[in-house]
Structure 1
Amino acid sequence: MDHGVRDPARLGQTRLPDGRRLAWAEWGPQDGWAVLLCPGAATTRWLGFGGSLVEDAGIRLVSVDRPGLGASDAYPGRTLASWTADIQHFIRSRELGDPAVVGFSQGAPFALALAAAGAVSAAAIVSGSDELAGPRFTDAPHPHVRAMVDAVASDPDSAAVSFADFGSADALWDLIMATSCEIDRTVYADPVLRSAFRHAMGEAFAQGTDGYARDTVLAMGRWPFDPARITVPVDLWYGRHDTSPSHSPDHGASLSRLIPTARRHVLPDAAGSLLWTHTDAVLRSLLAHRDAR
């Protein structure tokens, strides 16, 4: 099955005002409507989605490496606010206009931070990590995830050291396989997708483990923005069979009640890999928001 994974059409780096560089990859027409991609945990710009769909829809898909991952320069102590400032400059510098954003898995809080700041016109959260440190999930997360959340709340610097010690492409791949359902394992076994996924994971640790560790601290901590203040359209996409302990324990049900502009979709035949198995639905929702403006 073709899951829409292609090598990037274009690769590059953009200089930020403080001299750091953000690395990016693109697919689709250069003059198309920009859709930013916030990739999942321990992956980079190399792993895209959409295949020929983005070309046919006139979408310029732009994936950006977060600082310290892939080819983006490190930024010790970065926050979701600093990430938002980086991307706002990136949008202006690359003349991306009024883009939308897709946040996959651990990329969700980074995408929602952009939505909360009004940096994007719409957001699609796909198999997204929820605010696991929030009071909504005091008893819900998997014990291993609960331990990570508690560690970040108690001492984020020590938690980052622990995450860095664990982090590697092989360890994260094994964890994904161990916590995925059969639907997802079948998708990730596809040779093309697996090759791109492993390539992206290898890139993610090219500078060491600090970038992954900082990402995880931010993902497991409290969000510095109020979801209730998001005003742009947000689609929350979850697969009914998703078994990842680091995604949303209630498949976005409580999050959809917090975000006044949210629409929640729980697909009965999908799992955590729906970014590649139900791409058309995700893209069509974003295009509908663009056309409604």
Structure 2
Amino acid sequence: MKMVTLSKVTLVFAVALLGWAYQATRPPPPAILGASGGLPITSPRVRLKDGRHLAYMEAGVHKENARYKVIFVHGFASTKESGFPVSQELVEELGIYMLFFDRAGYGDSDANPKRCLKSDATDVEELADALQLGDKFYVVGCSMGGYVAWSCLHYIPHRLAGVSLVVPAVNYWWPLPDDVRRSAYGKLDARDRRTFWIAHHAPSLLCTWLTQTWFPTSPIVRGERGAFTAKDWEILTELWKRESGQLDRAKATRQGTYESLCRDATILFGSWEFDPTEMRDPFPDGEGVVSIWQGYEDRIVQVEIQRHAARRLPWVRYHEHPEAGHALPDMDGVGDEIARELVLGVGEAPPQSEPRRGS
């Protein structure tokens, strides 16, 4: 009799466990934008070929008078309102039109259930066409937006006039030399390593992992102070005081963390259809510039992988600031350096950091 009861208990437990596992792998539905009783839309938007909408924000000189048209791709847990630190003086001097947009699932842009590396690139292309930016345009990808810049270089190189990858996010499962991978991955907090491992090996469980409260999750994903250098935190604190919208998670994740943060992580750390370090020069005749801007002290994006990419891609201009962290573009004057080199192909090269012992 006891054996029968025990078997029933075991069966009930197994069924309950399977039920939990099934629910854990089912993504929550996104909040609906613009529908009756849904989330309000407060930004202008364009309609894409598949029926989705992308929200955008324009800045700089008027599009009709611009000499250079630049699309900026925001980072993780951020929105178009984060902007980019280019001085008004430089914008007017060079005639730069700046276009910011909410990536799919962020802010006021519709979620994309089929979002992938290629769709993020074609979103940029369709946005440019909808706003009539012409045959070619410039792209700046910051942090997580860096993977979108890599995607643009691979999928729509014929549309690009130049690209800047600013502290661009990296994938520890790219085809990397073992010593580079070990060094970069080993520098991460153990909680970040666990989270990134789940994003790569068990992506369907990532949302559950990030929303559970039993175990500590990634300091990087949570935006904790320890994920930044002291200088980074000082810069970010000043930005928050000015109400710049930088890292406004409430606005960024209004449709749910699955459609924004989780999709970001699973795409970035997933299996890519191409190897960035094997990419061909999109400007073999020197008609455009591709550059990587990296801070040596960055705790979020490890410098070893950026250096490896720069060694493999001699046509990429690599800039490494020895004392900068992840807030590199917000350091005084750096945003102007990035913009000037992007559109003019010239600029004063920042000081390079020599590899330090153990790096």
TM bucket (normalised to shorter chain) is 0.7 to 0.9
Deviation at 1:160, TM superposition (A): 3.9
Query: Which residue number corresponds to residue 113 of structure 2?
Result: 76
Query: Which residue number corresponds to residue 95 of structure 2?
Result: 58
AA aligned opposite 1:288: L
CA distance in 1, matches of 2:280, 2:197: 27
Query: Which residue number corresponds to residue 225 of structure 1?
Result: 274
Identity %: 26
Which of 311, 326, 334 aligns to 1:257? It is 311
Contact 1:132–1:221 (8 Å) recurs in 2: no
Query: Which residue number corresponds to residue 132 of structure 1?
Result: 172
Q: Kindly provide the CA deviation profile for residues 140-161 of structure 1, in whole angstroms up to 9, marking residues without a partner as x.
A: 3113333233213322211244
TM (norm. structure 1) is 0.85
Query: Which residue number corresponds to residue 6 of structure 1?
Result: none
Deviation at 1:184, TM superposition (A): 0.8
Map of 1:126-165 to 2, 5 A cutoff?
Answer: 126-136=166-176, 137-139=180-182, 140-141=184-185, 142=188, 143-163=190-210
- Describe the shift of the 1:112–1:280 C-alpha distance in structure 2 as closer, same or farther (beyond 3 A): same
- Describe the shift of the 1:178–1:195 C-alpha distance in structure 2 as closer, same or farther (beyond 3 A): farther
- Describe the shift of the 1:288–1:111 C-alpha distance in structure 2 as closer, same or farther (beyond 3 A): same
Partner SS for 1:250 = helix
Which of 27, 49, 56 aligns to 1:17? It is 49
Map of 1:200-239 to 2, 5 A cutoff?
Answer: 200-210=248-258, 211-227=260-276, 228-232=278-282, 233-239=289-295
In structure 2, runs of 5+ residues without a counterpart are 1-41, 214-218, 283-288, 347-359
Q: Kindly provide the CA deviation profile for residues 164-188 of structure 1, in whole angstroms up to 9, marking residues without a partner as x.
A: 658xxxx878624221111111111
1:30 maps to 2:62: yes
Q: RCO (CA 8 Å, sep 6+): is it higher in 1 or 2? A: 1
CA RMSD of aligned residues (A): 2.6
Flag as ranges the 4+ runs of structure 1 deviating above 6 A: none
Partner SS for 1:74 = coil
Partner SS for 2:324 = coil
Deviation at 1:224, TM superposition (A): 2.2
CA distance in 1, matches of 2:313, 2:247: 35
CA distance in 2, matches of 1:191, 1:107: 19
| Larger Rg computed on CA atoms | 2
Q: Kindly provide the CA deviation profile for residues 25-48 of structure 1, in whole angstroms up to 9, marking residues without a partner as x.
A: 121012222111111101010111
Q: Kindly provide the CA deviation profile for residues 116-140 of structure 1, in whole angstroms up to 9, marking residues without a partner as x.
A: 2214222111111122222425423
Deviation at 1:199, TM superposition (A): 6.8
- Describe the shift of the 1:146–1:135 C-alpha distance in structure 2 as closer, same or farther (beyond 3 A): farther
Query: Which residue number corresponds to residue 123 of structure 1?
Result: 163
CA distance in 2, matches of 1:221, 1:269: 31
Partner SS for 1:103 = strand
The size of the alignment, in residue pairs, is 276
Which of 180, 200, 215 aligns to 2:228? It is 180
